[in-house]
Amino acid sequence: MKKFTLNPQKVAFSCLFFLGLFTATAQTFEYKNSGTDFILFDMSIPPGQNNVAFAAGAMNTQNSDGVIIKTEDAGETWETIFPTSGTVPGFEKIEFLNDDKGFAVGYGAFKTEDAGETWEEITIANDLNRYSSLEFFNENVGIATAFVSTGVGFEVYVTNDGGDTWNTTSSIDDIGSISLGYADENTLFSVGNNQIISKSTNGGDTWEVIRTGTPQFFNVEVSFKDLNNGVVSGEDGQLLTTHDSGETWDEFATGYHNFYGLTYIGDQILASGTDEDVYISQDNGSNWNLAFDGDGTSTMYEIQLFEDGSGLICGSQGKMIKFEDVILSNNIPENLSGITHFYSSASKELTIASKNETIEDVAIYSLTGQLVRNVSNTSNTAVINTSSLSNGTYIATISVAGKTKTIKFVRQ
């Protein structure tokens, strides 16, 4: 296995630009053997997991044999769990709602309720050509899209019972047909051809186009951390970020990459795609930096995070990369001085104190990027009760005098 750390010469210009955001030993990216040479289009880490992950894909980009693989040691080793014999249709999306229940779709749809031990073929769409998207907001609420051979040729399906039943939405007008993602339980964004970005405010039932771009070019992925803040990736290395729920967009482009994998956590965003390269923004998309210069032989399609902040990236030729010390690296300088924090497992309270300035706001995110608490404050000390949160690792973004500091704490 080949293990990489950031090369000081390759990133010297970036280190200067970011005033030392990275050092040669701050981050590690290590290639792992996935046990397959299929294209791994998607991956899912069940909520709260530090060890178990699933990835799914196909032999070719068109209709071909499929595969689902699983790790139980945080990506160190993998085994094929489906099919165990024979062949199955190719997969493009996989999503686990908890440790046991998951769905995989592509040129067919399958469900497991025993952590991937067995898979049952199910029907979400009739007269199916291919499922193109599958996303869940929580264990109950989810959405899927599919190309079908009858009617209008494309349909959207929603579930409110964890995928046990699916209902066709009333309208597909103006939806982007490549990818979609939740901003909150009712608000979704979709992307697709002609660099379209669409928005739904009623759980995916109806859609409105909020941005278009160059005809015959594509936006390919979308990820939102909350109602206002999100990122869209496209061709030629384009990364678009919004901080007002899609009203306006800031643009960055490498001029080269296609970014298919996005993960958004706190104010940090990771993007990966062409040539196995990984880009990172530490400031909610204002600036981007090359975090990892990959081998260049594959395209990476998905990024997923474990509960502890380490993660995996999967792609073509069965390529699998494990990374550590990237999110909230200890080598990232603090934007604010005089900020301390302490979590009490006895009282379930997170205490944040500022030596000189008023703490204005504290936003708490899960490691999947979901905003779970947002607290306004008017003094130098903020005491936040976390009793309503589940045990696990969380990210808190602290706002003081127009500046922010990001911390990580473990709720126990």
Cβ atoms of 363 and 402 closer than 8 Å: no
Burial state string for 366-397 with b = 16 or more CB within 10 A and e = fewer than 16: bbbbbbbbebebeeeebebebeebeebbbbbb
| Span of 118-122, 242-246, 329-333 with lowest mean pLDDT | 329-333
Amino acid at 298: S
Q: Give tens-digit pLDDT for 51-100.
A: 999 999 999 988 899 999 999 999 999 999 999 999 999 999 999 999 99
Q: Which of 365 and 94 is assigned the larger pLDDT?
A: 94
Task: Please report where in the chains the tokens 């050092």 appear, as a residue.
Answer: 23
Sorted by sequence, the CB contacts under 8 Å of residue 108 that are 6+ apart come out as 66, 88, 89, 121, 128
- Cβ neighbours of 65 (radius 10 Å): 17
pLDDT of 27 above 80: no
**Residue 123 in contact with residue 166, Cβ under 8 Å?**
no
Nearest Cα residue to 377 out of 353, 356, 395, 355 = 353
* Strands of 72-116, DSSP E: 79-82, 91-96, 102-106, 109-112
If you search the block for the tokens 């792992």, which residue do you land on?
Answer: 32
Exposure of 323 by Cβ count < 10 A (0-12 exposed, 13-18 middle, 19+ buried)?
Answer: buried
151-165, 228-242, 321-335: range with lowest mean pLDDT: 321-335
Inter-residue contact 316 to 41 (CB < 8 Å): no
pLDDT band at 168 (very low <50, low <70, confident <90, very high): very high
Q: pLDDT tens digits, residue range 320-330?
A: 999 987 765 43
Q: State the average pLDDT over residues 30-37.
A: 97
Whether residue 4 contacts residue 48, with contact meaning beta carbons closer than 8 Å, is answered with no
Cis bond upstream, residue 8 (ω within 30): no
Least confident of 40-54, 272-286, 390-404: 390-404
DSSP state of 267: T
Q: Which two tokens stand for residue 291?
A: 């975090």
CB 328 within 8 A of CB 342: no
Q: Please, what are the domains in the chain?
A: 28-324 (2.130.10.10), 339-411 (2.60.40.3080)
pTM of the entire predicted model: 0.78
Note whether 212 and 194 are within 8 A (CB).
yes
